[in-house]
Chains A and B, each alone.
Chain A
């Protein structure tokens, strides 16, 4: 945020070129047709003046560029534009340009969207010939279907991730068991079995597609339930609904990936931590629980957070077993109107919003645990300040 502020208030380097680009956008907007709710439509003279101000800026910039190209070597000394008063004037003028373009953006784009929305909502028939209105109309008419889909998707992702986290904790505990000197044969046997099970589980789950896993979980357990008693179709659906099967699939699938993330986080804990704990007399189990696990889980927070985002998106494959998630909702709506493109565009927008919100929330959450989230290779570099 402070970078943006500095860029706007201090940095001169991009004033001419950057604002010219913005001015071109404004001129293009100004020459596009006015939407129904445009407020500049009643103030034609104002818009004309605004258009010429934008044009004037482009001319001024072009002159400055020409001067710079012809006086390349002595530009810094001879140009009237580099003197502080001129620079200040240019900067204030650039604010005016930005303000004009902002007004144009509101008039054309925001008001355009608003007009299309009002038209779409009040339309009796599908406005199939207007692309934007068509999308908005489909969204409005099918809103309850989308809400059902989004709710299911969020439920699958959130519950699936939470269940998977708990299972992954148990599984990674089995996975990292190492035979310790004081262990008796019984303990040794179970440690070997636990490690083996975790390895096989991880390999099988990560090595098969989730769509196939969903089919196996759904039809496999359906078959088992059917074999155990005489149930009607409605009863079966009650006991083993597609949603339940989907939740089980997401949880079991995510468990394997989360286990690997946790294992990595735990492996990254310095070996000396374990040695120090053992040297004080703590057992392997006590050292794990009190010293290694807390640090390992903290290391894993970025990777674990990522699993939630992945589950939001990957739960879409569950529509193969008719789980009514966002993807299934979009397919249903598209089918209703024989028009899949707008239905899935809306779905994509909703998925994007969901993942962005999840990423932001998880970032805040990680921040509370002091997890470093700086960009790789970043330094504490601050922007160069140009003298006024």
Chain B
């Protein structure tokens, strides 16, 4: 983490992720239309918007779980969208947390965390477990290391998923609606972990419906509407005086509710 922090300070001018003219459609449906976005190192960018506005697709284009139709996604200066780029190597540096947790059902908590480091980093099993236990400790689940993932609660599963991603020591973390499948009482424990992560200086892109999180934790908020970025800016500005009428309409629903 400390190594990353100094890196963030020295190349602050260079964006970690640069998205240029990104387009994606599923059949006739245009999901993303000409998206441009920069994510600076050490910053937390939150993407908000109605369902079907293309938030998740945009996020999944950053680690190429969806292949863009046109445009560029630069990560640390290499274009992910270019032909024959080694996506696997780049994905090692991009952690992702899913709405449905997607923990590996055939392994226990610790094996979930050590699978990728052991397979890809050629790390010894013991060393990988030590790293994994440290990350599990930081999300408060060290006691569950030997537990079967199917016996955990939703909040615990999501925290394991975060620890699993952190074990690869990523430079960038992507969160795809990490709390949408959780009941309101345990949303807090996951958000707390994310808040700590942000405070440690992790670069994060978060798709979420948690407006309080977007407002308090993020450095930049992006509002998406019908496949385009309708508005983006600092959270105070976007939440208190939104310019775009769609943003105003969307936010008023949340503020009323």
Contacts and interface: CB of A to CB of B under 8 A. Distances in A.
Nearest to B168: A280
B91 interface: yes
Contacts of B92: 280-281
B108 interface: no
B106 A298 contact: yes
Contact of B96 (A279, A291, A295): A279
Contact of B104 (A277, A278, A283, A298): A277
B95 interface: yes
Contact of A294 (B63, B86, B106): B106
Interface string B85-110: 11111111111101011111110000
B94 A184 contact: no
Given A272-B98, A272-B102, A273-B105, A281 B64 contact: no
B86 to A, nearest CB: 6
B164 A280 contact: yes
Contacts of B165: 279-280
B64 A181 contact: yes
B119 interface: yes
B257 to A, nearest CB: 29
Contacts of A286: 119-120
Contacts of A278: 65, 88, 91
A281 B104 contact: no
A181 B104 contact: no
A290 B85 CA distance: 24
Contacts, number: 78
A383 to B, nearest CB: 30
Contacts of B89: 281
A207 interface: no
A276 interface: yes
A181 B87 contact: yes
B84 A280 contact: no
A181 B86 CA distance: 9
B67 interface: yes
Contact of B91 (A272, A273, A281, A295): A281
A270 interface: yes
Interface residues of A, number: 21
A342 to B, nearest CB: 51
Contacts of B64: 181
Contact of B102 (A275, A282, A283): A275
Nearest to A183: B84
A276 B165 CA distance: 9
Interface string B207-250: 00000000000000000000000000000000000000000000
Contacts of A182: 84-88
Contact of A270 (B90, B102, B115): B102
A291 B119 CA distance: 12
Nearest to A275: B65
Nearest to A290: B115
B116 interface: yes
Given A279-B65, A286-B119, A273 B102 contact: yes
**Main secondary structure on A side of the interface with B:** helix
A280 B65 CA distance: 11
B180 to A, nearest CB: 14
Contacts of A281: 88-93, 116, 120, 168
A92 B114 CA distance: 63
A295 B105 contact: yes
Interface string A251-293: 0000000000000000000101101111111110010001100
A276 B101 CA distance: 9
A281 B118 CA distance: 12
A84 to B, nearest CB: 45
B112 to A, nearest CB: 9
Contact of A280 (B87, B91, B101, B105): B91
B116 A181 contact: no
Nearest to B65: A275
A275 B95 CA distance: 12
A119 to B, nearest CB: 59
Contacts of A282: 88, 115-116, 119-120
Nearest to A269: B105
Interface string B62-93: 01110100000000000000001111111111
Contacts of B84: 182, 184
Contact of A279 (B85, B86, B94): B94
B124 to A, nearest CB: 17
A290 B111 CA distance: 11
- The CB with the most chain B CB atoms within 10 A, among A290, A294, A295, is that of A290
B230 to A, nearest CB: 28
Nearest to A281: B92
B23 to A, nearest CB: 17
A136 B109 CA distance: 60
A298 B120 CA distance: 25
Interface in A284-312: 286, 290-291, 294-295, 298
A372 to B, nearest CB: 12
Contacts of A294: 106
Given A275-B65, A275-B98, A280-B116, 13 more contacts: A181-B67, A184-B84, A272-B98, A276-B102, A277-B115, A279-B63, A279-B94, A279-B98, A280-B91, A280-B92, A280-B115, A280-B168, A281-B88
13 contacts: A184-B84, A273-B105, A275-B98, A276-B103, A276-B161, A279-B63, A279-B65, A279-B95, A279-B96, A280-B95, A281-B88, A290-B115, A295-B105
Of all A-B residue pairs in the complex, the 9 with the closest CB atoms, nearest first, are A281-B92, A276-B102, A272-B102, A279-B96, A280-B116, A281-B91, A294-B106, A295-B106, A291-B104
